[in-house]
């Protein structure tokens, strides 16, 4: 069961809403957010931008192919989210990262995951992508503050961990097909993920009994789920749950926003979560290790 949480109540009743999302993260790691504050027109503009991009000729998209900084186009067949399966994912994707100018000292200094974004030559694309990125980032920081409350930490506990984060906005497109896998079974890598889908079925979550359950679609809502970084940070108090996308009957689009901490954030058991089960690790090191495993598609 994935609970539906009306986020517009968070301002007036922060502790109540924090307890609701905390419970969801302890039980399944998934919730559906309505009243989340990402404007409808921002979401619509992002879908339009994504459609425009995916319709470009492959040669055009290949000019901004995904690189070590996790920005750009991932062509169909270049990813395998289920590292144990022999199947590659039938999807294509485009990633936008934390936006910086080329002369930013963090880029010049070689900080991990700091880079300029790779933009297609499409009118309005950059504004639409960054508009969605900013709105999702704001919501993500607000969800992190609820997590702090749920864990009896000061509400601003995470602020310094997400003010220049390794966040990735990812446009996804799954081609229509007959059977097979759109995105292999996986748990996400980061702290939290905010996911919008276009209503075409396919997303499934692995239940505790080992059965795959369809995630119900709610127009305009955002699915929020936690990733392995937050599971580790919370000393396994929260659970990141496996999910997958079946190859859809019709073309399916979705927009994911992966919120990973600042690169130099140290991920070690949060105060009050008991004896640490894992050694400390920097958020950048953790993300790198997970991305490397996903992209290691044998020839
Ligand atoms: O497209 C979706 O609905 C889910 C995608 C997903 O789970 C991911 O990219 O991590
Ligand atoms: Fe995922």
Number of domains in the chain: 1
Q: Kindly report the backbone phi and psi dihedral angles of residue 17, in degrees, each rounded to the nearest multiple of 5, phi listed first.
A: -70, -40
Q: Are strands 222-226 and 243-246 parallel, antiparallel or unpaired?
A: unpaired
- What are the C-alpha distances in Å from 259 to residues 13, 54, 173, 201, 202? 24, 23, 20, 24, 23
Does the C-beta of 245 come closer than 6 Å to ligand 1?
Answer: yes
Does the C-beta of 253 come closer than 6 Å to ligand 1?
Answer: no
Tell me what the mean pLDDT of segment 271-290 comes to: 96
Residue 299 lies in a domain: no
Whether the pLDDT of residue 31 is over 50: the answer is yes
Predicted confidence at residue 39, as pLDDT, reads 98
Alpha carbon distance 283, 265 (integer Å) = 5
Q: Ligand 1 centre and the CA of 141: distance in Å?
A: 20
Residue-wise pLDDT for 136-179, tens only, equals 999 999 999 999 999 999 999 999 999 999 999 999 999 998 88
Query: Which of 66, 79, 195 maximizes ligand 1 atoms within 8 Å of its Cβ, making it the mutation to test the pocket?
Result: 195
- Exposure string of 166-179, with b = 16+ CB inside 10 Å and e = fewer, is bbbbbbbbbeeeee
Q: Ligand 1 centre and the CA of 177: distance in Å?
A: 17
The mean-pLDDT minimum among 45-54, 246-255, 284-293 falls in 284-293
Residue with token string 């009306």: 6
Model confidence at 90, pLDDT cuts 50, 70, 90, reads confident
Residue-wise pLDDT for 194-250, tens only, equals 999 999 999 999 999 999 999 999 999 999 999 999 999 999 999 999 999 999 999
Alpha carbon distance 281, 278 (integer Å) = 9
Alpha carbon distance 213, 13 (integer Å) = 31
Residue 85 lies in a domain: yes
Does the C-beta of 195 come closer than 6 Å to ligand 1?
Answer: yes
Does the C-beta of 188 come closer than 6 Å to ligand 1?
Answer: yes
Predicted confidence at residue 296, as pLDDT, reads 55
Model confidence at 298, pLDDT cuts 50, 70, 90, reads very low
3-state secondary structure string across the chain: CCCEEEHHHCCCCHHHHHHHHHHHHHHCCEEEEECCCCCHHHHHHHHHHHHHHHCCCHHHHHCCECCCCCCEEECCCCCCCCCCCCCCCCCEEEEEECCCCCCCHHHHCCCCCCCCCCCCCCCCHHHHHHHHHHHHHHHHHHHHHHHHHHCCCCCCCCHHHCCCCEEEEEEEEECCCCCCEEEEEECCCCCEEEEEECCCCCEEEECCCCCEEECCCCCCCEEEEECHHHHHHCCCCCCCCCEEEECCCCCEEEEEEEEECCCCCEECCCCCCCCCCCCCEEHHHHHHHHHHHHHCCCC
Residue 66 lies in a domain: yes
Residues 6+ apart with CB under 8 A from 137: 162, 165, 167, 257, 259
Can you tell me the ipTM of this complex?
Answer: 0.99
Question: What domain range is 215 assigned to?
Answer: 4-294
Q: What is the CATH number of the domain that holds 73?
A: 2.60.120.330
Residues 6+ apart with CB under 8 A from 13: none
Tell me what the mean pLDDT of segment 116-125 comes to: 98
């Amino acid at each position: 069961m994935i609970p539906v949480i009306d986020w517009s109540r968070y301002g007036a009743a922060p502790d109540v809403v924090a307890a609701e999302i905390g419970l969801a993260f302890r039980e399944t790691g998934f919730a559906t957010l309505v009243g989340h504050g990402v404007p409808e027109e921002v979401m619509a503009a992002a879908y339009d931008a994504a459609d425009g991009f995916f319709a470009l000729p492959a040669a055009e998209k290949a000019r901004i192919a995904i690189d070590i900084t996790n920005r750009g186009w991932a062509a169909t067949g270049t990813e395998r989210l289920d590292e144990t399966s022999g199947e590659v994912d039938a999807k294509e994707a485009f990633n936008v990262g934390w936006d910086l100018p080329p002369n930013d000292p963090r880029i010049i200094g070689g900080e991990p995951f700091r880079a300029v974004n790779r933009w297609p030559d499409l009118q309005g694309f950059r504004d639409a992508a960054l508009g969605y990125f900013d709105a999702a980032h704001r919501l993500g920081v607000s969800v992190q503050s609820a997590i702090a409350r749920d864990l009896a930490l000061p509400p601003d506990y995470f602020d310094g961990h997400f003010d220049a984060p390794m966040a990735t906005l990812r446009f996804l497109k799954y081609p229509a097909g007959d059977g097979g896998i759109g995105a292999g079974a996986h748990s996400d890598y980061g702290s939290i993920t905010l996911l919008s889908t276009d209503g075409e079925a396919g997303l499934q979550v692995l239940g505790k009994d080992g059965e795959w359950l369809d995630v119900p679609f709610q127009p305009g809502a955002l699915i929020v789920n936690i990733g392995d970084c937050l599971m580790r940070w919370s000393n396994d108090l929260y659970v990141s749950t496996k999910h997958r996308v079946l190859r859809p009957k019709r073309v399916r689009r979705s927009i994911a926003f992966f919120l990973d901490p600042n690169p130099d954030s140290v991920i070690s058991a949060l105060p009050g979560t008991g004896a640490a089960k894992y050694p400390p690790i920097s958020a950048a090191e953790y993300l790198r290790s997970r991305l490397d495993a996903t992209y290691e598609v044998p020839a």
